[in-house]
């Protein structure tokens, strides 16, 4: 992938002086399609992690996805087309992930409209994962993201189906318990108390193991539990 054409600071300056859409148009007028795609790919994580600007994230990911898919259809080079579609897939993943309320990321509070856009991103990410014949772990990751977004949408049966497909087939896989934890979370959301004992046992085992992997899984699962319950409760009022 080519180097980024523009820093986030330059993009912010252009958006401030000329408006967001003018900055996006300027970005798309620079360099080759692969260079422009690489710039979209580089800017949106910075907008999220450093600037906590979810509106900019959504603008960059949606514009970048459309640009990459359009350019992929226009090129006669199959390798360039695959590269552009792969970038579109990555942008769709970021759109789905960065708008998910289960992270409870400080400084980020996705609105219901932004969460719905994230669901669309997760759906596209899974579609492109299959079309591009990504490896099994990437396919499972795409199923996880769509399942996670469907939890936020309150569609628990479909969420559970995708989350079950995200679990590694080998129980000895280091990430197995984390992904299995999301299955239990979905079961508890769908029918409160159904898998509560298994959920609590899983958390205790992760806490007791005290490895970096288990600590990360424990924190992610407990944060997702809080974030999703808080978000879903907010939609009832």
| Cβ density class 48-69: b for 16+ within 10 Å, e for less | beeeebbebbbbbbbbbbebbb
CA distances from 103 to 86, 100, 168 (A): 25, 6, 22
Q: What pTM did the predictor assign?
A: 0.95
Are residues 73 and 150 located together in one domain of the fold? no
Alpha carbon 15 to its chain centroid, in Å, reads 25
Residue range 63-110, pLDDT digits in tens? 999 999 999 999 999 999 999 999 999 999 999 999 999 999 999 999
Domain boundary among 44, 66, 98: 98
For residue 103, the 8-state DSSP code is: G
Are residues 16 and 87 located together in one domain of the fold? yes
Whether residue 236 has pLDDT greater than 90: no
Are residues 88 and 159 located together in one domain of the fold? no
Are residues 156 and 220 located together in one domain of the fold? yes
CB 48 within 8 A of CB 91: no
Q: What pLDDT shows up at residue 5?
A: 82
Residue range 30-52, pLDDT digits in tens? 899 999 999 999 999 999 999 99
Are residues 160 and 234 located together in one domain of the fold? yes
Are residues 158 and 91 located together in one domain of the fold? no
Does residue 109 form part of some domain?
no
- Domain limits at 13? 1-98
Does residue 31 form part of some domain?
yes
Least confident of 1-5, 42-46, 60-64, 214-218: 1-5
Q: Which residues contact 25 (CB under 8 A, 6 or more apart)?
A: none
CA distances from 27 to 15, 85, 115 (A): 11, 18, 26
Q: What pLDDT shows up at residue 3?
A: 61
CB 175 within 8 A of CB 212: no
Quick one: residue 190, left, alpha or beta (phi over 0 = left, psi -120 to 50 = alpha)? alpha
Are residues 70 and 149 located together in one domain of the fold? no
| Number of domains, the chain | 2
Phi/psi of residue 60, nearest 5 degrees: -70, -40
Are residues 204 and 145 located together in one domain of the fold? yes
Are residues 93 and 164 located together in one domain of the fold? no
Are residues 228 and 151 located together in one domain of the fold? yes
Can you tell me the distance from the alpha carbon of 160 to that of 147, in angstroms, rounded to the nearest whole number? Answer: 7
CA atoms within 13 A on the CB side of 45: 8
How many angstroms separate the most distant Cα atoms in the chain?
56
Are residues 2 and 85 located together in one domain of the fold? yes
> Vertex 64, ends 59 and 70: CA angle to 5°?
130
Domain boundary among 98, 124, 159: 98
Does residue 122 form part of some domain?
no
Domain boundary among 72, 98, 124: 98
Q: Is the dihedral of CA 143, 103, 181, 154 positive or negative?
A: negative
């Amino acid at each position: 992938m080519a180097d980024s054409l523009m820093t986030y600071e330059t993009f912010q300056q252009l958006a401030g002086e000329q408006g967001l859409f003018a900055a996006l148009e300027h970005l798309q007028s620079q360099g080759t399609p692969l260079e422009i795609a690489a710039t979209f790919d580089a800017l949106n994580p910075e907008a999220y992690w450093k600037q906590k600007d979810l509106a900019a994230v959504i603008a960059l990911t949606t514009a970048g996805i459309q640009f990459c898919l359009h350019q992929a259809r226009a090129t006669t080079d199959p390798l360039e087309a695959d590269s552009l579609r792969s970038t579109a897939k990555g942008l769709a993943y970021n759109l789905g992930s960065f708008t998910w309320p289960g992270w409870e990321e400080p400084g980020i509070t996705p609105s219901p409209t932004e969460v719905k856009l994230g669901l669309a991103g997760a759906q596209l990410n899974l579609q492109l994962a299959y079309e591009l014949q990504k490896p099994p772990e990437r396919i499972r990751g795409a199923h996880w993201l769509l399942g996670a977004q469907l939890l936020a949408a309150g569609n628990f049966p479909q969420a559970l189906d995708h989350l079950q497909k995200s679990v590694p087939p080998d129980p000895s896989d280091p990430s197995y318990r984390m992904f299995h934890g999301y299955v239990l979370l979905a079961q508890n959301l769908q029918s409160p108390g159904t898998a509560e004992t298994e959920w609590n046992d899983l958390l205790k085992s992760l806490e007791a193991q005290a490895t970096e992997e288990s600590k990360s899984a424990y924190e992610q699962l407990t944060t997702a539990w809080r974030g999703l319950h808080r978000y879903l409760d907010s939609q009832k009022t």
